[in-house]
């Protein structure tokens, strides 16, 4: 006898999930399903698919061990209808109930699909986040512009994290000025904690190998954590070996070190293997114990308590049309080298290769290399959105779309970012060692050998002059451009156009 179906999605693998809290172990049936519709609505990286399925299988086993009844559909089950709504309907017919208990999905697409089902759906808020939809709307109401920094301060006050009474710990809300250093190679940097695949993971790897042979990305070696115990171990490892230096190298990039002092916990947070408040409290405890400095801990907590919650608030406030925005009218196709076709630009070649191998790139690589190039070149933000959603193990639309469409491409017209994140090659040269191994010269500003970022940077500013020249944060850029002599400006624009033409022709750039 089954009273209700309790839906648990692949990114809802938390024992404290609202739907599980409200369910009755004796009467209700948990429904989990690996389905083609979710695994293929974009061409996900094989590591991302394997991570999700393996974590789902382990979570189902855990629920069973804790006394839950679980109806789990594997991808290759002959009866699999291959969609979430289809599996709910099938289980409902099988067990003679039409009552479904669910936690709100993190994507409009699925929210809509569940809402259209001819079943009695009770949808609960996803309270694994620190700010509810209502809380975010209350904060946003009446503000002309929404800036993460002010939202973050409010979240610090609300949670008490890094607060000394009413004042921020260390006397400042934000220590980013101390956090913009380049990095040096360091053989003693520990790197992320890696896990050998056990039986469950090996079985999933074989399945993904067989079913998704042509998706961009390398499946092996596979070393992600796939259950709460492993994710906790990865977090402990980060706290001990990397958090103290997190701030110093946060914006740096090195060809020989793909992870630097980053946490690599976003896949674990986003599927629910780690809890965001717990992660922030653990980082705060490291500061209070004197084991990590304030610039590192504040910077780390701001990413989770500030950025992660802020972008989710924007995604749900802006509604289902948000990922399709294109405020700058960019229409260029995504260059083939994003899918591994090869490029002479070493920064892009490094980041794309890393993405192919690891299903991971850190924030500055996503923002200032792949994102920066696409924005400068005028790539269609919808195509880029699909790329980011596909290639990273941590990519779910609620977090990926505001970061890509908003922060990185300014395609929302400035809701997430107050100015476009564009830079010439000089920024990449300062923050990385990529330029040393590049076929282009970062110092050359014109001509065939000039760094394409140098050319496209001015091309971007010039073609969007009407929109951006009045932005107080961009006045200096336009002054520099206007001070160049007319002949030089014309040469840069001509060289940039030649480069873009070659890009469109599919030439090896
Ligand atoms: C174009 C673009 C696309 C992105 N797409 C995603 C995505 O699909 N999924 C995703 O989780 N993050 C995304 N980010 C944000 C960020 O790049 C990743 O969260 C981060 O690189 C994850 O690696 P980490 O765990 O080592 O992070 P760390 O640098 O160690 O940071 C710690 C944690 O802070 C959180 N965080 C940091 N920055 C952000 C941010 N801007 N937005 C939300 N959370 C943040 C993450 O949970 C991360 O695990 C994107 C950023 C850009 C510029
Ligand atoms: S020279 Fe330009 S294209 Fe080459 S690595 Fe540096 S920034 Fe990238």
Q: How far is the CA of 344 from the centre of ligand 2 (A)?
A: 9
Q: Provide the 8-state DSSP code for 334.
A: P
Cα of 385 to ligand 2 centre, how many Å? Answer: 23
pTM of the model: 0.98
- Block residue for tokens 């290759």: 76
Which ligand has its closest atom nearest to the C-alpha of 235? 1
Long-range contacts of 90-94, Cβ-Cβ distance < 8 Å, separation of 24 or more: 91/5, 91/29, 91/31, 92/5, 92/119
Q: Which atom of ligand 1 is nearest to the CA of 367?
A: 53
Protein residue with its CA nearest to atom 8 in ligand 2: 347
pLDDT tens profile 373-425: 999 999 999 999 999 999 999 999 999 999 999 999 999 999 999 999 999 99
Of 114, 386, 371, 393, give the one whose Cα is nearest residue 270.
393
Q: Which residue CA neighbors atom 5 of ligand 2 most closely? A: 435
In this structure, how many other beta carbons lie within 10 angstroms of the beta carbon of residue 13?
26
Give the pLDDT of residue 187: 75
DSSP string, 73-85: E-TT-TT--SSHH
DSSP 8-class letter at 402: I
Q: Show the ligand 2 pocket: residues with CB < 6 angstroms.
A: 345-347, 425, 428-429, 434-435, 438, 440, 442, 451-453
Q: Ligand 2, atom 7: nearest CA belongs to which residue?
A: 425
What is the distance in A from the centroid of ligand 2 to the CA of 377? Answer: 14
Q: Report the C-alpha gap between 393 and 114 in whole angstroms.
A: 24
| Structure confidence at residue 496 (pLDDT) | 98
Question: Residue 274 to residues 13, 80, 304, 463: CA-CA distances in angstroms?
Answer: 9, 29, 12, 44
Low-confidence ranges of the chain (pLDDT < 50): none
What is the per-residue burial (b if ≥16 Cβ within 10 Å, else e) of 334-368? bbebbeeeebebbbbbbbbebbbebbbbbbbbbbb
Ligand number nearest to the C-alpha of 425: 2
Tell which atom from ligand 1 comes closest to the C-alpha of 269: 47
Instruction: Compute the radius of gyration of the chain from its Cα atoms.
Output: 24
Looking up tokens 């559909």 gives: 73
Q: Which ligand is nearest to the CA of 436?
A: 2
Confidence (pLDDT) at 186: 81
What is the residue whose two structure tokens read 């630097």?
Answer: 260
* Partners of residue 122 on adjacent β-strands: 101
Substitution candidate for ligand 1 out of 369, 394, 395, 405 with most atoms within 8 A of CB: 394
- Rounded to the nearest angstrom, the distance between the alpha carbon of 126 and the centre of ligand 1 is 20
Bridge partner residues of 69 (DSSP): 29
Give, to the nearest 10 degrees, the angle between helix 452-463 and helix 475-483: 110
Q: What is the pLDDT of residues 110-165, one digit of tens each?
A: 999 999 999 999 999 999 999 999 999 999 999 999 999 999 999 999 999 999 99
Best substitution site from 183, 363, 407 to test ligand 1's pocket, by max atoms within 8 Å of Cβ?
363
Residue 33, strand partner residues: 73
Find all residues with CB under 8 Å of 501, minimum gap 6, and list them. none
The pair of structure tokens assigned to 458 is: 């001015």
pLDDT of residue 351: 98
Residue with the smallest CA separation from ligand 1 atom 25 is: 264
Say which residues have a Cβ less than 8 Å from residue 277's Cβ, sequence separation at least 6: 130, 159
Instruction: Please state the φ and ψ torsions of residue 153, each to the nearest 5 degrees.
Output: -60, -40
- Locus of tokens 């500013």: 461
What integer pLDDT is reported at residue 178 of this predicted model? 86
Cβ pair 376, 456 in contact under 8 A: yes
The pLDDT score that the predictor gives to residue 184 is 82
């Amino acid at each position: 006898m089954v009273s209700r179906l309790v839906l648990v999605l692949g990114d809802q693998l938390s024992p404290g999930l609202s739907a599980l809290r409200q369910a009755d172990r004796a009467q209700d049936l948990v429904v989990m399903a690996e389905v083609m519709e979710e695994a293929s609505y974009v061409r996900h990286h094989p590591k991302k698919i394997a991570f999700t399925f393996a974590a789902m299988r382990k979570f189902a086993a855990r629920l069973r061990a804790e006394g839950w009844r679980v109806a789990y559909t594997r991808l290759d089950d002959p009866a699999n209808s291959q969609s979430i709504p289809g599996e709910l309907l099938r289980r409902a017919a099988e067990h003679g109930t039409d009552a479904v208990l669910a936690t709100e999905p993190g994507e409009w697409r699925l929210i809509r699909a569940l809402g259209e089902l001819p079943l009695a759906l009770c949808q609960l808020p996803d309270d694994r986040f620190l700010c509810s939809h209502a809380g975010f709307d209350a904060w946003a109401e009446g503000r002309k512009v929404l800036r993460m920094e002010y939202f973050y301060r409010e979240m610090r006050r609300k949670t008490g994290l890094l607060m000394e009474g009413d004042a921020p710990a260390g006397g400042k809300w934000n220590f980013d000025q101390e956090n913009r250093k380049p990095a040096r190679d360091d053989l003693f940097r520990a790197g992320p904690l890696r896990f050998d695949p056990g039986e469950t993971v090996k079985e999933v790897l074989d399945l993904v190998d067989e079913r998704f042979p042509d998706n961009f990305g390398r499946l092996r070696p596979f070393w992600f954590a796939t259950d709460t115990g492993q994710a906790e171990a990865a977090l402990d490892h980060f706290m001990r070996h990397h958090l103290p230096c997190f701030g110093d190298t946060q914006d740096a990039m090195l060809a020989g070190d793909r992870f630097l002092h980053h946490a690599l916990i976003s896949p674990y947070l986003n599927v629910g293997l780690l809890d965001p408040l717990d992660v922030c409290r653990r980082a705060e405890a490291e500061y209070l114990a004197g084991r990590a400095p304030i610039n590192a801990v504040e910077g780390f907590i701001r990413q989770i308590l500030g950025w992660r919650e802020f972008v989710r608030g924007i995604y749900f406030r802006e509604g289902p049309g948000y990922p399709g925005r294109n405020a700058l009218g960019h229409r260029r196709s995504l260059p083939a080298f994003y899918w591994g076709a090869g490029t002479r630009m070493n920064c892009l070649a490094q980041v794309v290769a890393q993405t192919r191998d690891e299903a991971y790139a850190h924030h500055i690589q996503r923002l200032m290399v792949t994102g920066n190039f696409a924005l400068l070149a005028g790539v269609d933000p919808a195509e880029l959105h699909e790329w980011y959603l596909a290639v990273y193990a941590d990519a779910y639309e609620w977090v990926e779309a505001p970061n890509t469409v908003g922060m990185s491409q300014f395609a929302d017209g400035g809701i997430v970012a107050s100015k476009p994140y564009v830079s010439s090659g000089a920024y990449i040269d300062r923050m990385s060692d990529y330029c040393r191994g590049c076929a282009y010269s970062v110092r050359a500003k014109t001509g065939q050998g000039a760094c394409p970022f140098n050319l496209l940077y001015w091309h971007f500013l010039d073609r969007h002059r009407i929109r951006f020249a009045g932005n107080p944060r961009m006045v200096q850029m336009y002054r520099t451009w206007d001070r160049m002599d007319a002949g030089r400006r014309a040469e840069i624009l001509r060289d940039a156009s030649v480069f873009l033409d070659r890009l469109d022709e599919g030439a090896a750039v």
